[in-house]
Structure 1
Amino acid sequence: MKLLIAFSPLVVLILFQEHISCYYLTKYASSGYYQDADFVIGGLFSLRVTDGNTFISRSGIEDTSHIPEYVFADLIKHYQHILAMVFAIEKINKDPNILFNKSLGFFLFNVNFIEMKAVEGSMALLSGESPPIPNYSCRPEKTDKLVAVIGGISTSISIQISRVLSLYKVPQISYAPFDQILGTRVQLQSPYQFSMHTAALYQGIVQLMLYFTWIWVGLVVPDDMRGELYLRDITEEMISHGICVAFAEKVTEYSSKNTVNWKRFMERFTLTPVIITFGDTHSLLRIVYFVIFYNLLGNVWITTSDWYITTLPFEQNLIYTHFGGGLSFSFHMDEILGFKDFLRSVQPRKYPHDIFIRHVWSSLFGCPHYYQHRLWDLSQCEPNGSLSTRPLHAWDMNTSPMSYKVHAAVYAIAQALHEELSLRVEGDSFDKVILQAPHPWKLHPFLQKGQVGRSTNEEYSVNKEVSAIKLDIFNYQSLQSGTEAHVKVGEFVFESHSVQHLSLNDKIITWGEHHNQTPLSVCSQSCPLGFSKTAVEGKPFCCFDCVPCPDGEIANKTDMHQCIKCPEDQYPNKQRNQCLPKIMVFLAHEDPLGTVLVSLAISLSAFSAMILGLFICYRETPIVRANNRNLSYLLLISLKLCFFCSLIFIGQPRTVTCVLRQIIFGIVFSIVISAILAKTFIVVVAFKAIKPGSILKMGMVTRLSNAIVCCGSIIQVCICAVWLGTYPPFPDVDMQSEFGQVILWCNEGSTLAFYCVLGYLGFLASLSLLIAFLARRLPDSFNEAKTITFSMLGFCSVWISFIPTYLSSKGKTMVAVEILSILASSAGLLGCIFLPKCYVILLKSGGHSRKKFFK
């Protein structure tokens, strides 16, 4: 009996341990925002960014309820997430067909961005009070109705919530940005997420960069695994499209230790006009404070809807000054019908038990609030105040992407409940009077079939048959009314990597306070026309130097990697940005040089004709009869043909003229030189023929001279015939010798044959020169050896000079050199051989002879 009395307090203590524990736990508890109903959805939201100071309670759980926390950022606009959940639940409760006339309630907590608070809030949902104790249910009327939980706002918060809820198989829908590694980091059961097609997002950003030719951009990501994946994937896409990453900075959360070298980051930041950010509002909060603190201006920010920049609580124009003009990608969302009207109707007196609205209202309307009679007194605030009257920097009436997710999550849970209840109705187990909430784990099969999915090693979405993904593009700009707003300026539709479409109304885009036009974002200035890019050692491919195009090449576009050669019939202009048609160049009759040469050839031909006429007129005179006058006639006629053959060299080269010019030149000149050789032979042989006892007769000498002319000419004809039969001359073009010119010329075909023709003429001329030189001292009044010697000296001098000059000249100059050589050598022969005889005939044969000639 004494033992019973002694142990009775211990038995009582054990029996009431749970109630005693709950008493101590609720003594300083924060009950959250609770609305009773048949089914309850838990909600864990984040309304502030604090330092996270904690206090160890008696239960061993860190308690953050009573130690004042330093608030880094009061995110008033996140209150819209709570209102989205309240609105969805009220709308569902108004439809009796969804939950079979049963109501849906909520149990909401603010966990800020503190992981320990997320754990505590999850346990509070399971125990019914806060702070809780594991495996105790202090409020069964609350905990037994819990069917699912919505939260948290970030990956880290979602993980901590899941660590608790997964133990009890309570469904959790995270409204954080999609994280494909979330499922691998939670040991038991991963939360449901709204899937996001990151490939579409990356392609949209890349196409936007290409649209504005922004090829030098910076990347800012959270310093976590999600940031690593963002960095890897977007960098690959950008590089494959010719976009360079100027820098990539990983930013830690605001409450974590700073690992960023801000000095280096500032240098990079100021040199990079366009910055792309991936991450949510909380993970990138540090970068926002940094930009504002150091007053960094003029950058264009490309963001996603996860980083809702207007959520941050700063002065009215402060955010716009630093982030105005930015562009944001958001997956297309249909407007939530009635949500804006609901926001306009929200007032503290409408929701007197809302423990969050007092602070929101006090902050938005600048009025104090007091706690009286277990209710918060906001009598000094505007009684009929409306959220729609608040400016954008304080409140946004547009549905944020996270509010949209919260609203969709409520409907996903309601749909799962509807399907679960439908099965019970079909199984005749439905009691309209008493209906307990289903076990939370029973909703998993229905949630997996809905619009939310679980992340494993790859993205999961039930709705895989969506043919196209649409992203809206918003521009953060200041309206004419003086307020700021996100204005839709375009959209990006993604079907596949090969089928995608970007439509952008860049006329309505504004670039903030620091740009009047679309800013440039390049590492190196664009290479102008006429220049090509060359890589700079040690720098990305977007950094380059511009070098002029080499000779013969152009760059007709900006930023060309390599200059292109002009076609052979074209040449680059001075700027080397355009190919111009080359000028056709040949020695034409209309050219001044061509006109002079034609005039000179005709004049010399006429002069030779006059000499021929003089010789015919005085054919019986001794000076004409000497040395075989027929040879003189032949020589004069050949010289006349030589002058005329030079005319064939003038004009546009054609097949006929190319063949005839060299052949006629070679044959006619061989006749001329052969005739001179015959004359020289006659001078030598004539003296031997008149000696006593000589067997040579003058008739034989004449026939022998004729044979010399025929043989000399026939050999040249044979050489020309072989030339024509093997590789004859042909018209050709030279596009390389002269800049900007296409030289039309006659290709000699066989160079060997051409020089054989010249060589044979040189042989005949040398032989004539040698014989004439030996016969120069023979006593004869009409000895032509001296004149022939001088003529051959001049002839050989001209053609010896011709060869190097001909080889070193191009185009019409080369033709002119050959024509001048023909005219000069022919004129030299005509002058040296026949002018002395004309002088004798006209001036020393008496007046009778002159009168006869001029008649």
Structure 2
Amino acid sequence: MELLIAFSLLIVLIVFQEQIFCFSLSIPASPGYYQDGHFVIGGLFSLRVTARDKRIKFGFNDTMAIPEVVIVNLTKNYQHMLAMVFAIEKINKEPNILFNMSLGFYLFNDDFFETRAMESSMALLSGGSPPIPNYSCRPEKTDKLVAVIGGISTGISAQISRVLSLYNVPQISYAPFDASLGTRIQLESPYQFPVHTAALYQGIIHLLLYFTWVWVGLVVPDDMRGEHFIKEIREEMINHGICVTFAEKGPVFPSFGDIGWYQLIISLTLTRIVIAFGDTHDFLKLVSLIISSKTFGNIWITTSDWYTAILPFKQNLIYTYFGGALSFSVHKDEILGFKDFQRSVHPTKYPHDIFIQHVWSNLFECPHFYEHGVKKLSQCEQNGSLSTRSLNVWDMNTSPLSYNVHAAVYAITQALHEELSLRVNGDSLDQGGLQPPLPWKLHPFLQKGKLGRNINEENAVNQEDSATKIDIFNYHPLQRGTKAQVKVGEFLFESHSVQHLSLNDKLINLGVYNNQIPLSGCKRSCLLGFRKIEVSSYAFCCYDCAPCPAGEITNETGMDQCFKCPEDQYPNKWRNQCLPKIIAFLSHEDTLGMVLVSVAISLSAFSAMILGLFIRYRDTPIVRANNRNLSYVLLVSLMLCFFCSLIFIGQPRTLTCVLRQMIFGVVFSVAVSAILAKTFIVVMAFKVIKPGSTLQMWIVTRLSNAIVCCGSIIQVCICAVWLGTYPPFPDVDLQSEYGQIILLCNEGSTLAFYCVLGYLGFLASLSLLIAFLARRLPDTFNEAKTITFSMMVFCSVWISFIPTYLSSTGKTMVAVEIFSILASSAGLLGCMFLPKCYVILLMSGSHSRKKFFK
């Protein structure tokens, strides 16, 4: 009998083990806010930060409870809960959505603590607090659970997923998308609302380039998300010429004795601009350091809308020293009716909301007391409203995370609607014996929505419109009637090739800089006229400036290379601008041109006077000696030589370029041939011809005329060949003279040009040689000495002409040739005819021929 009784008791214990165990541990260690419905959605939120032991505790009984101290009350995060309550109330008012069935919720606060998040997840599954793993203590709650929304960070979301994925319960994380969340845990990852990270990166880079900030620091939380951000943003920055001077990582909640962010204080001195990737809860410790490091005057750029009200009811120093910061936030439209809902929220309206008591106490500074472990308010405003609170403690605008919570509720509702629709179509929906769908049945419907489970699946960013709009906010110091955050611009990203940044500079307040844009670079940008030269591994940020070389400029600051001006322009002396070159040629208006014209005309007139003198005294012995016709030819050719120099002056044209060298060559060949003929007559007269032999003298005269004709014809042939092959033509010289475009005559065939000069030199050398040999003949009618001297002058001029001509450019080259023509012609004129003019004018009139010969 005793054995039978013992066996019966054992069976009873086994049957009622679950109920006894649940009853023995039903201590309200982690209470939640519950509202019943046909379907229940769990919510795990974070309203405050507590200091607790970092060791993970299991057991969840009162003997192992860990004392907690509240560090920060994030009252604004209560809006996340309100967004969920508002969405569920609005859905329940529409009976057709869930076929006359309602939604309920079960909300918990995990206080940014991963252990509590895991505990709350188990409480959702077991229906009681503390939770009982693998047991359902309250089936009326747990059997209705269809999905869970939470948590606010990657670490919390991962811990929640470790529990919920064991039972295949759908989880939607309302935190910003984290690509590492899909790989850091082995089990099924939560659904997320992805954002276009490329749009965020490009927006930051466009903002930096807009203000020419190319020397920046990075601050990220010490997790996979921070590592991923540093890797991707650094590559994009390098591609756009922006340098990362430091990349500091720190723990989200540093424990006592942890260095944490204190190393960042040293790095803040290296740059003015700091980019912080993360949300408010990632940098709670960092915010206090910003106040202590105010002397550095840094401007912060955040990748999310920071909630910086650490001390809610005081004029926060954070807004004074964080003022001037710029934040990026993916554009979200306001939730219709949500502001009115927030105005209506009051503790008396939601008496079962255990969280509103704590939030209301902080927002309205109400005295409170605890009754049976529950916070009770006293002496609060009867008609208090959230809309009356200042912006630093409560913002009526919908935060991005609240928008995600609201969207998550509707995503779950849509999945429920589709699952129930299948049951209605199959006539299997019986509201009398209604059973909520098993949570895992919602996965196919959630996967079709705008959600992503991991980085390998198509997610919302691929399904939404291609354009991503990001709002840019500026933090202003809090003043009466002044918003804490002001929208100052937006960035529209359609693709990597279609992007647009718009900023309202008038609204931007840069805090301590008094709206003066600070410089952020390893070195100030190189000025105009200078280029960068590398001095370190940060080649495009740290550099020295070197002046541009001659002939090159930079017309923008900070250029890597100088560039040359177009050929028709030249750099100014500062080498920052190209000026049009001046067109230059030897013109008649130039001083040098006028002098040469005057000299040429004077010498031509002088030659004409000598010619007239010789014609008048043509019967005198001094004129008749050595063939007076040759003297006429020589004088005429010299006069033409002086005149031909005028063709070289003026703007070069095709006709003048061709004529001037040809006329010069032919006329000079006539002059030098005439001198050669005169030399021939001198030699023949004293060496070959007998005195009184008229016939022989006639033959010599004919030969001298032939010499002139043959010498000239040969030069004409050379010029004809020159014209027929490669004649001279007008040309421009853009390089020889700085700042000038020189108009000149290109000689065409250089060989032909020097052949003309060489032939003249041959005739002159031959005349010089013959005259030199005949210099000792009788002096009375002997021109050998004067010919010798004139040829020496002629040869000296043209021998010195060649190197001078080759070393000259522009107008100087033309002037050298004109001077050589005038000097050699004047030398011939002076040496050959001035002595004869002296004799004609001063001696022939007073002496007889006989006396003259004596």
Q: TM-score, normalised by structure 1?
A: 0.92
Deviates more, 1:206-215 or 1:356-365: 206-215
Aligned-residue offset at 1:370: 0.7
Moved more, 469-478 or 170-179: 469-478
Query: What CA deviation, in whole Å up to 9, does each residue of 1:42-87 have, x standing for no partner?
Result: 2211122223327998x83476984322333221211221222222
Whether the 8 Å contact between 1:251 and 1:259 is mirrored in structure 2 is no
Could you tell me which residue of structure 2 aligns to residue 601 of structure 1?
600
Q: Contact conserved, 1:658 with 1:730, CA < 8 A, in 2?
A: yes
Give the alignment of 1:612-761 within 5 angstroms. 612-689=611-688, 691=690, 697-761=696-760
Q: Return closer, same or farther for 1:29/1:734 CA change in 2, 3 Å cut-off.
A: closer
Call closer, same or farther: CA 1:727–1:334 in 2, change over 3 Å.
Answer: closer
Structural mapping, 1:511-526, within 5 Å: 511-526=510-525
Which residue pairs with 2:391 in the alignment?
392
C-alpha distance 208-258 of structure 1, shift in aligned 2 (>3 A): farther
- Correspondence for 1:852: none
| Partner Cα distance (1:665, 1:64) in 2 | 123
Aligned to 2:40: 40
Q: Spell out the pairing of 1:424-443 with structure 2 (5 A cutoff).
A: 424-443=423-442
Structure 2: stretches of 5+ with no match in the other structure: 849-854
Question: Aligned letter for 1:129?
Answer: G
- Structure 1 distance, partners of 2:397, 2:122, is 33
Task: Please name the residue that 2:366 is paired with.
Answer: 367
Paired with 1:323 and 1:153, the residues of 2 have a C-alpha distance of 24
Tell me how far 1:375 sits from its aligned partner.
5.2
Equivalent position of 1:571 in the other structure = 570
Contact 1:296/1:322 (<8 A) preserved? no
Whether 1:546 and 2:545 are equivalent positions in the alignment is: yes
Residue type matched to 2:18 in 1? E
Q: Whole-Å Cα distance in 2 between the matches of residues 10 and 345 of structure 1?
A: 56
Task: Call closer, same or farther: CA 1:362–1:684 in 2, change over 3 Å.
Answer: same
Write the mapping of 1:217-232 to structure 2, written as runs, cut at 5 A.
Answer: 217-232=216-231
Counterpart residue identity of residue 651, structure 1: G
Could you list the per-position Cα deviations for residues 309-348 of structure 1 after superposition, in whole angstroms to 9, with x for gaps in the alignment?
3364465332222332333332232212222222222222
Equivalent residues in 2 for 1:302-313 (5 A)?
302-305=301-304, 308-310=306-308, 312-313=310-311
Q: What's the offset of the Cα at 1:120?
A: 0.9
Farther-moved stretch of structure 1 (793-802 vs 604-613): 793-802
Q: Describe the superposition over 1:483-535 as per-residue Cα deviations: whole angstroms up to 9, x where unpaired.
A: 43332333333333333443333332322343414444334322333223333
**SS at the partner of 1:356?**
helix
Deviation at 1:165, TM superposition (A): 1.5
SS of 1:697's partner is: helix
Pairwise CA distance, 1:468:
3.0
Aligned with 2:456: secondary structure?
A: coil
1:785 is matched with 784
* One-letter amino acid of the counterpart of residue 406, structure 2: H
Cα pair 1:52 1:64 within 8 Å, conserved: no
* Distance (Å, rounded) in 2 between the aligned partners of 1:450 and 1:597: 94
Taking a change above 3 Å as real, the CA distance of residues 374 and 90 of structure 1, as seen in their structure-2 partners, is farther
Check the 8 A contact 1:479/1:485 in 2, yes or no: yes
Q: Distance in 1 between matches of 2:461 and 2:219?
A: 31
CA deviation after TM superposition for structure 1 residue 5, in Å = 5.7
User: In the alignment, which residue of structure 1 is the partner of 2:214?
Assistant: 215
| CA deviation after TM superposition for structure 1 residue 12, in Å | 5.7
Q: Could you say which residue in structure 2 is the equivalent of 1:139?
A: 138
* Secondary structure of 2:511's aligned partner: coil
Aligned pairs for 1:348-359 within 5 A = 348-359=347-358
Q: Say if 1:818 and 1:439 are closer, same or farther in 2 by CA, change over 3 A.
A: closer
Q: 1:188 to 1:714 in 2, by over 3 A?
A: closer
Residues of 2 paired with 1:568 and 1:465: CA distance?
A: 53
Distance 2:79 2:290 in 1: 26
C-alpha displacement at 1:471, in angstroms?
Answer: 2.7
Aligned length: 847
Distance of 2:262 and 2:93 partners within structure 1: 57
Q: Deviations over 1:170-226 (max 9, x none)?
A: 222211221233233343332222232223333333333344443333322222222
Shift of the 188–764 alpha-carbon distance from structure 1 to 2, 3 Å rule, reads closer
Q: 2 CA distance for matches of 1:801 and 1:55?
A: 102
Question: Is the Cα contact below 8 Å between 1:471 and 1:493 reproduced in 2?
Answer: yes
| Secondary structure class of the residue paired with 2:353 | coil
Question: 1: CA distance between counterparts of 2:788 and 2:55?
Answer: 130
Distance change (3 Å), C-alpha of 1:341 and 1:735? same
Q: Does the 8 A contact of 1:180 with 1:458 survive in 2? A: no
Shift of 1:570: 2.0
The question of whether the paired residues in 2 share the 8 Å contact of 1:181 and 1:457 is answered with no
Distance 2:43 2:7 in 1: 44
Determine the structure 2 residue equivalent to 1:853.
Answer: none
Change (3 A) 1:391 1:253: same
TM-superposed deviation, 1:652: 1.6
Which residue does 2:22 correspond to in 1? Answer: 22
Give the direction of change, closer, same or farther, for the CA distance of 1:190–1:63 in structure 2 (3 Å limit): farther
Contact between 1:55 and 1:67, CA under 8 Å: does it hold in 2? no
Separation in structure 1 between the aligned mates of residue 63 and residue 318 of structure 2, nearest angstrom: 31
CA distance in 2, matches of 1:244, 1:699: 99
Which residue in 2 is equivalent to 1:50? Answer: 50
Q: Deviation string for 1:550-609 (max 9, x for gaps)?
A: 222222233333222222222112122222222222211111111111111111111111
CA 1:261–1:105 in 2, change beyond 3 Å: closer, same or farther? closer
Which sits farther off after the overlay, 545-554 or 46-55? 46-55
Q: Give the CA deviation at 1:653.
A: 1.8
1:801 aligns with 2:820: no
Task: Note the alpha carbon deviations across 1:671-723, whole angstroms, 9 max, x for none.
Answer: 22222222222223223456479897322222232222223223322333333
Tell me how far 1:121 sits from its aligned partner.
0.8
Shift in Å, 1:445: 3.1
Using the alignment, how far apart are the partners of 1:622 and 1:636 within structure 2? 18
Query: Which residue of structure 2 aligns with residue 764 of structure 1?
Result: 763
Q: Secondary structure at the match of 2:545?
A: strand
In structure 1, stretches of 5+ residues that fail to align are 850-855
CA shift for structure 1 position 670: 2.0
- Pairs within 5 Å for 1:449-468: 449-461=448-460, 464=463, 466-468=465-467
After superposing the two structures, state which structure 1 stretch, 767-776 or 251-260, moved more.
Answer: 251-260
Counterpart-to-counterpart distance in 2, 1:110 and 1:661: 103
- Shift in Å, 1:397: 1.9
Amino acid at match of 2:117: A
Question: Structure 2 matches for 1:102-113, cutoff 5 A?
Answer: 102-113=101-112
Which has the higher mean CA deviation after the structures are superposed, 18-27 or 125-134? 18-27
The alignment partner of 1:445 has SS state of helix
Note the C-alpha offset of 1:431: 4.1
2 CA distance for matches of 1:359 and 1:526? 54
What is residue 852 of structure 2 aligned with on the other side? Answer: none
Matched, 1:341 2:340: yes
Amino acid at match of 1:579: C
Residue aligning to 1:475 = 474
* SS across alignment from 2:606: helix
* Cα offset, 1:433, TM superposition: 4.5
By how many angstroms is 1:743 displaced? 1.9
Question: What amino acid sits opposite 1:786 in the alignment?
Answer: K
The alpha-carbon distance between structure 1 residues 61 and 755, as it changes in their structure 2 partners (threshold 3 A), is same
Contact 1:28 1:65 in 2 (8 A): no
**TM-score scaled by length of structure 2:** 0.92
AA matched with 1:34? Y
* Matched letter for residue 389 of structure 2: R
Question: Distance in 2 between the 1:447 and 1:471 partners?
Answer: 26
Aligned to 1:162: 161
Query: 2:726 & 2:55 partners in 1: Cα distance?
Result: 107
C-alpha offsets along residues 615-654 of structure 1, whole Å, 9 cap, x if unaligned?
A: 1111112222222211221221121111111112211222
Matches of 1:240 and 1:280 in 2, distance apart? 26
What is the CA–CA distance in structure 1 between the aligned matches of 2:612 and 2:559, rounded to whole Å?
Answer: 72
Give the Cα–Cα distance (whole angstroms) in 1 for the partners of residues 126 and 689 of structure 2: 155
8 Å contact from structure 1 (residues 790, 832) kept in 2? yes
Partner of 2:827: 828
Matched AA of 2:32: G
